[in-house]
């Protein structure tokens, strides 16, 4: 018994189809098999398909589970392959929408390369970094066995390295074009750019000393340092000063979108890096630019450099051991203005050099002192705990020998949080420093901003600096979800290219997070459920995606992306 379809051709040339339930019977005389219609369902386009589904369901009640599966799959149907599709397909659509693929294709075509192949190689490396971070060698197996990416089925490690070399060579033009496209499509606020640096270390005993490595950059206060992936010893933000490192800088918009990354030798100072960043972004023809940077960038040379061409800066000043102008701003009396439940601000103008009051004129230095009452309470609690701990440690120290007291004070050099509350009397005895406690209490919950911008309100300045956390979150994602480290490359140019792949991956996932309001970890976990399945039948092979879940539709809807095609490929048996 089976469902058959018959067709009849009308006089006007149109064709009408009919569905019938039939079974075959043998003719009593000739023995030939002939079809006998049991029930006529009518025209195919008007048939009650819900009724057919109920009929199938009712028949299935009388079959074993394996018989139902076999009946549904048909004879000779076999699953040949299953690959992850959702994450790579979504990233590919974002890659296309943001114009990244187009920028790479144009740059490759200008160099007479196979533009389409180069673009697919670089996308594969970026997608792997976002979905399943690993080495470039691991990427070859990942593409060959685990994921489905349109336009590429195989990848060799040699192709991966050549793609990285091209990306680094064409980086300036690609980054500028991507920035323009992303800024236009996402309507980014480009008046304020946030800048910060981090470092990443390498598990090797010595710094680079090979001839092809760049020479260390000497900071003369004027010359901009050149980008380089040279591994050298320097101040480590990962607290691994025993290992060589590189320094990485990132620029992020107010919306949290990373627009560019840079790599420098491991001993390059933050104060020098800002010059390279400013010069590179100057060619992008931004209108009015305010640089927001952490206190590591604070220097008179940097401030002068950032204000060239009408630019402005916002950066924090040190509260302890600071310069005379910042010290004058901290000491200046005045009322705070409450701008939120946990934020108060006070604007102060100081004359250059910190001498006298600034009247807000052209030469006055503008400061904004911010105070967070909640943070002040936390700072006071932490200080009380530190002081109590220190008091316990020095209890009975009057009976110690002078050498033992010297050794104890020396042990606190690596613990400034404790050391600042300890003083020694003229006779060498150890005491709690009440004056230091009082001074520190005056700094609870405060941070001090210096700016050259006279148009932004104190509230805007405080809010802008708080958004510097967007950059810090980018570093956490770089080192966490994207696994920036460990770096398996030895050549300095490959190290820089590796950082740029991480930047492109971070750009894609940040756009996805902004649109969906969810973390990339959650988004990728849901998209990972969407697979591309290749089936073999008696008539050939077909590649079909699995059914979309409600989570898939929510993510695609938020990103304004269409559903992936249900069928990707058909191959008929000859």
Q: Where are the domains of the chain?
A: 1-65, 375-441
Q: What is the pLDDT of residue 233?
A: 64
Kindly report the number of other CB atoms within 10 A of residue 233's CB atom: 16
Q: Which residues contact 199 (CB under 8 A, 6 or more apart)?
A: 234, 235, 236, 237, 238, 245, 246, 247, 248, 266
Task: Work out whether strand 290-293 and strand 312-317 pair parallel, antiparallel, or are unpaired.
Answer: parallel
Share of the chain above pLDDT 90, in %: 33
Average per-residue pLDDT for the chain: 82
Closest CA to 432 of 471, 375, 388: 388
pTM: 0.72
- Token look-up 């070859």 returns 140
Lowest-confidence range among 126-140, 357-371, 393-407? 357-371
Q: Residue 310: is the preceding peptide bond cis (ω within 30°)? A: no
Q: Give long-range contacts, CB 8 A cutoff, 24+ apart: 346-350.
A: 346/371, 346/458, 347/458, 350/325
- The pLDDT of 173-199, averaged and rounded, is 81
**Residue pointed to by tokens 């950066």:** 315
- State both tokens at 102: 């187009």
Q: Which residue has the higher pLDDT, 60 or 321?
A: 321
Q: Mean pLDDT throughout 233-240?
A: 63
Nearest-5° angle of CA 282, CA 288, CA 294?
A: 75
Position 523 scores a pLDDT of 95
In angstroms, the CA 142 to CA 152 distance is 12
To which residue do tokens 């997070």 refer? Answer: 513
Q: Report phi then psi at 215, rounded to 5.
A: -70, 150
Contact between 322 and 336 under an 8 Å Cβ cutoff? The reply is no
CA 110 from chain centre, in angstroms, equals 29
Residue 338 has pLDDT above 60, yes or no: yes
Residues 6+ apart with CB under 8 A from 267: 216, 232, 233, 234
How far is residue 73's CA from residue 71's CA, in Å, rounded to a whole number? 6
Q: In the chain, pLDDT over 70 holds for what percent of residues?
A: 85
Residue 109 burial (C-beta neighbours within 10 Å; 0-12, 13-18, 19+): middle
Task: Please report the sign of the dihedral spanned by the C-alpha atoms of residue 257, residue 260, residue 264, residue 270.
Answer: negative
Strand (E) positions, 160-218?
A: 192-201
Of 59-73, 120-134, 343-357, the range with the lowest mean pLDDT is 59-73
Q: Which of 50-64, 261-275, 332-346 has the highest average model confidence (pLDDT)?
A: 332-346
Q: Please check the confidence at residue 403 and state whether its pLDDT lies above 90.
A: yes
CA dist 203 and 195 (Å) reads 27
Q: State the pLDDT confidence band at 127, using cuts at 50, 70 and 90.
A: very high
Which of 167-171, 186-190, 284-288, 297-301 has the weakest average pLDDT? 284-288
How many whole angstroms separate alpha carbon 274 and alpha carbon 276?
6
User: Do 196 and 293 touch, CB atoms closer than 8 A?
Assistant: yes
Helices (H), 468-549: 469-479, 492-516, 520-527
């Amino acid at each position: 018994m089976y469902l058959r379809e018959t067709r009849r051709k009308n006089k006007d040339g149109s064709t009408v189809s009919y569905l019938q339930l039939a079974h075959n019977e043998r003719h009593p005389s000739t023995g030939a098999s002939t079809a006998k219609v049991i029930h006529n369902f009518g025209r195919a386009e008007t048939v009650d398909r819900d009724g057919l589904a109920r009929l199938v369901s009712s028949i299935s009640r009388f079959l074993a589970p394996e018989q139902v599966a076999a009946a549904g799959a048909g004879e000779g149907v076999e699953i040949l392959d299953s690959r992850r599709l959702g994450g790579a397909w979504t990233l590919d659509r974002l890659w296309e929408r943001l114009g990244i693929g187009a920028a790479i294709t144009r740059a490759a075509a200008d160099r007479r390369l196979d533009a389409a192949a180069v673009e697919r190689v670089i996308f594969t490396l970026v997608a792997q970094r976002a979905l399943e971070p690993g080495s470039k060698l691991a990427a070859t197996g990942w593409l060959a066995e685990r994921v489905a990416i349109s336009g590429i089925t195989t990848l060799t490690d040699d192709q991966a390295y050549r793609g990285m070399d091209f990306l680094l060579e064409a980086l300036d033009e690609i980054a500028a074009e991507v920035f323009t496209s992303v800024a236009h499509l996402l309507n980014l606020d480009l008046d304020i750019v946030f800048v910060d640096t981090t470092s990443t270390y390498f598990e090797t005993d010595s710094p680079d000393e090979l001839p092809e490595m760049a020479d260390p950059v000497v900071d003369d206060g004027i010359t901009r340092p050149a980008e380089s992936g040279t591994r050298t010893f320097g101040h480590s933000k990962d607290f691994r000063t025993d290992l060589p490192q590189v320094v990485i800088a990132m620029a992020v918009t107010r919306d949290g979108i990373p627009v560019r990354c840079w790599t420098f030798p491991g001993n390059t100072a933050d104060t020098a890096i800002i010059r390279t960043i400013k010069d590179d972004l100057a060619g992008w023809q931004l209108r009015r630019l305010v640089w927001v940077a952490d206190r590591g960038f604070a220097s008179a040379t940097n401030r002068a450099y950032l204000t060239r061409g009408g630019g402005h800066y916002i950066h924090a000043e040190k509260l302890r051991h600071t310069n005379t102008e910042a010290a004058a701003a901290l000491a200046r009396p005045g009322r705070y203005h409450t701008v939120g439940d946990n934020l108060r601000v006070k604007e102060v103008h100081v004359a250059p050099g910190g001498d006298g009051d600034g009247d807000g004129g052209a030469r006055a230095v503008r400061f904004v002192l911010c105070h967070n009452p909640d943070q002040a309470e936390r700072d006071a609690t932490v200080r009380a705990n530190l002081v109590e701990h220190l008091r316990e440690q020095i209890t009975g120290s009057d009976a110690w020998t002078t050498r033992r007291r010297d050794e104890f004070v020396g042990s606190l050099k690596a613990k400034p949080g404790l050391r600042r509350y300890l003083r020694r009397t003229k006779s060498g005895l150890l005491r709690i420093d009440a004056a230091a406690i009082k001074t520190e209490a005056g700094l609870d919950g405060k941070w001090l901003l210096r700016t050259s911008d006279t148009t932004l309100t104190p509230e805007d300045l405080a809010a802008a600096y708080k958004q510097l956390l967007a950059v810090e979150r980018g570093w956490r994602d770089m080192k966490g979800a994207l696994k920036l480290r460990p770096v398996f490359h030895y050549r300095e140019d490959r190290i820089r290219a590796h950082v740029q792949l991480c930047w492109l991956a971070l750009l894609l996932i940040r756009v996805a997070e902004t649109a969906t309001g969810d973390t990339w970890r959650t988004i990728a976990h849901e998209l990972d459920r969407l697979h591309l399945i290749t089936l073999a039948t008696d008539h050939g092979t077909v590649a079909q995606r699995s059914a979309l879940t409600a989570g898939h539709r929510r993510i695609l809807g938020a990103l304004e992306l269409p559903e992936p095609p249900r069928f990707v490929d058909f191959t008929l048996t000859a």
